[in-house]
Amino acid sequence: MKAEDRVSVIGGHLTATTVSDASVGKTSANPNPTRTRPPITTHVLDVSRGSPAAGIEVQLETWKGPEPRPLFGKSYTGGWAFLGSSTTNNDGRSGQLMSVVDDINPGIYRISFNTGKYCPSGFFPYVSIVFEIKETQKREHFHLPLLLSPFSFSTYRGS
């Protein structure tokens, strides 16, 4: 990757839509975080083309529902709170979905991808990944890549 491409990728992370620290529930007493990137990041790779997937809308939410955690198979109204959104760049990387904070609030998070707009003839209108950050993990980084094709997807916790 050329140096100017790397600068463009980094710039994309810094210029995307962000949200206030209050909505993220900043728990760090330090107003100047020591992290250099948000605690939750993502990128999308189109494995059917063998290239990054540009132009996919991404949304990050946290669980704020009536129960401590969403229960499988139960419907909720108003349980998810919006944290931020972005669109993947030419390298398939999402911009900043939340503020850069030292400590992320433990809890349940959901990251969703508008895959139907990217691949209208595909099987998945959107993909949502629900994951939990525990108290002991609040200083860790969580990278959730999405590997996508028209009829399948997979994900993992990356670095």
Q: Which residues are annotated as a binding site?
A: 43, 93, 156
- Interacting residues of 74 by C-beta distance below 8 A, sequence separation 6+: none
CA atoms of 107 and 80, how far apart (whole Å): 12
CA atoms of 116 and 134, how far apart (whole Å): 31
Which residue ranges are tagged as binding site for substrate? 43, 93, 156
Query: What backbone phi and psi angles, to 5 degrees, belong to 126?
Result: -160, 160
How crowded is residue 154: how many other Cβ atoms within 10 Å of its Cβ? Answer: 10
Counting beta carbons within 10 angstroms of the beta carbon of residue 93, is it exposed (0 to 12), middle (13 to 18) or buried (19 or more)? buried
Query: What backbone phi and psi angles, to 5 degrees, belong to 57?
Result: -75, 135
Yes or no: say if 116 and 36 are a contact pair by the CB < 8 Å rule. no
